[in-house]
């Protein structure tokens, strides 16, 4: 039987991130996550991207829709530039290390830590007696997703910051409890102009696939007309754009549109303000709509082309899962050794 791993290790850079296939992908997912996943891949870093179907079922999912949305999200990744040969792309449920390590982390994480998670509080609302136990344990499974690969960097939107802090706490407690330097302490990568894309209807709430109003978001499956219409109708105030970014303070809707423009164009908000200082929304919105259509239409078109061949998507996901498993399984075996589980079936 192998002995627990005790030697200090250094951790090579490895990126992991995930998106829930719990609805269509939004512009928020694209700018806050997907676009940056592609940038990391193109920088030549090892990248592992996961459709977290087990996270999705922490709230009810219709099985037929879940399958459809998982394939659609996979197509969204590929259409946006994820190359399944260079990145590992798979769905979470197919690599059982996630669930196995998730359970172990449930025994590391403390009730108090979990109770402080704002996303749980937001999602559970007044209904906390009646939500699933999985929703409460969600961040611990998320930590397992990352640590099953000893990933060191996790690109996400702003809303995931607290979950990544919890992941660090879990990794540190595991290392401490067992006297090992086994898990890396992960670095959140929250960067760019659109780390928190807001609703088009309310500049103070996040653009989300679960918002009941479709007008509040741009979906990656929206056609050019719909995108343009939603942007034209986006809520704004009556003032022209300021001549300094500071002038966007206390103007959440205006700030959101400027940030979206900046992220789509690959500029900073300050550059956008320089170009559009004093512009009315009557001028700025059509410019933003044109830019959004130019950037998103090719992705939408490619997504619908890829969706024609579900068997090919499943094949790509399966291949990704096999590659992911090959990394995660030895790590999990080490974890079992560390914590004192007899690996009686090991070959």
150 a catalytic residue: no
Contact, 122 vs 83, CB < 8 A? Answer: no
Q: Strand (E) positions, the chain?
A: 15-19, 47-51, 88-91, 153-155, 187-189
Question: Is 123 marked active-site?
Answer: yes
Q: How far apart are CA 196 and CA 207, in angstroms?
A: 8
Determine which residue in the list 14, 15, 18, 183 makes contact with ligand TRP, applying CB under 6 A: 18
- Comparison of 92 and 300: residue with beta carbon closer to ligand TRP: 92
Do 253 and 104 contact (CB within 8 A), yes or no?
A: no
Map the footprint of ligand AMP across residues 40-69, applying CB under 6 A.
none
In 107-223, alpha helices (H): 111-115, 118-124, 133-147, 161-178
| Joined tokens for residue 101 | 């390590």
Binding to ligand AMP by residue 296, rule CB under 6 A?
no
Sole binder of ligand TRP in the list 27, 34, 51, 52 (CB under 6 A): 52
Among 72, 145, 211, 222, binds ligand TRP (CB under 6 A): 145
Q: Which of 14, 15, 16, 33 binds ligand AMP (CB under 6 A)?
A: 33
**Binding-residue pattern over the window 133 to 162 for ligand AMP, x denoting contact by CB under 6 A:** -----------------------xx-xx--
Looking at residue 157, the DSSP 8-state letter turns out to be -
**Least distance from ligand TRP to the Cβ atom of residue 201, Å:** 21
With residues binned 3-state (H G I as helix, E B as strand, rest as coil), the percentages for the chain, rounded to 5, are 55, 5, 35
C-alpha–C-alpha distance, residues 145 and 170, integer Å: 12
The least distance separating ligand AMP from the CB of residue 55, rounded to whole angstroms, comes to 7
Q: Is 126 a catalytic residue?
A: no
**What is the separation of C-alpha 281 from the centre of its chain, rounded to a whole number of angstroms?**
31
Give the binding site for ligand AMP (CB under 6 A).
19-20, 28-29, 32-33, 156-157, 159-160, 194-197, 206-209
Residues labelled as active-site residues: 123, 206, 209
Give the binding site for ligand TRP (CB under 6 A).
16-20, 52, 55, 142, 145-146, 154, 156, 160, 163
């Amino acid at each position: 039987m192998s002995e627990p791993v005790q030697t200090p290790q250094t951790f090579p850079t490895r990126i992991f991130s995930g998106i829930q296939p719990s609805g269509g992908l939004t512009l928020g997912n694209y700018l806050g996550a997907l676009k940056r996943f592609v940038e990391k891949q193109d920088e030549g870093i090892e990248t592992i991207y996961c459709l977290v179907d087990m996270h999705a079922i922490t709230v009810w999912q219709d099985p037929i829709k879940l399958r459809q949305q998982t394939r659609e999200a996979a197509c969204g990744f590929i259409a946006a530039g994820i190359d399944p040969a260079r990145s590992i792309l798979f769905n979470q449920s197919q690599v059982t290390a996630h669930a196995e390590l998730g359970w172990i982390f449930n025994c590391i994480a403390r009730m108090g830590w979990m109770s402080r998670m704002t996303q749980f509080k937001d999602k559970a609302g007044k209904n906390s007696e009646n939500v699933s136990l999985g929703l409460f344990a969600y961040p611990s499974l998320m930590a397992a997703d990352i640590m099953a690969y000893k990933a060191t960097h996790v690109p996400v939107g702003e809303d995931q910051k607290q979950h990544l802090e919890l992941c660090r706490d879990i990794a540190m407690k595991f290392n401490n409890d067992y006297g090992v330097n086994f898990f890396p302490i992960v670095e959140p990568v929250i960067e760019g102009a659109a780390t928190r894309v807001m609703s088009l209807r309310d500049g103070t709430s996040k653009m989300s696939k679960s918002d009941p109003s479709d007008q509040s978001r741009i979906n990656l499956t929206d056609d050019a007309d719909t995108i343009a219409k939603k942007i034209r109708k986006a809520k704004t105030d009556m003032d022209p754009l300021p001549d300094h970014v500071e002038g966007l303070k206390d103007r959440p809707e205006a700030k959101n549109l400027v940030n979206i423009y900046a992220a789509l164009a690959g500029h900073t908000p300050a550059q956008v303000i320089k170009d559009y200082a004093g512009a009315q929304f009557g001028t700025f919105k059509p410019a933003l709509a044109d830019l959004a259509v130019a950037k998103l239409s090719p992705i939408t078109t490619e997504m619908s082309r890829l969706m024609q061949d579900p068997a090919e998507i499943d094949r790509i996901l399966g291949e990704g899962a096999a590659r992911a498993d090959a990394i995660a399984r030895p790590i999990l075996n080490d974890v079992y050794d560390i914590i004192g589980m007899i690996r009686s079936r090991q070959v």
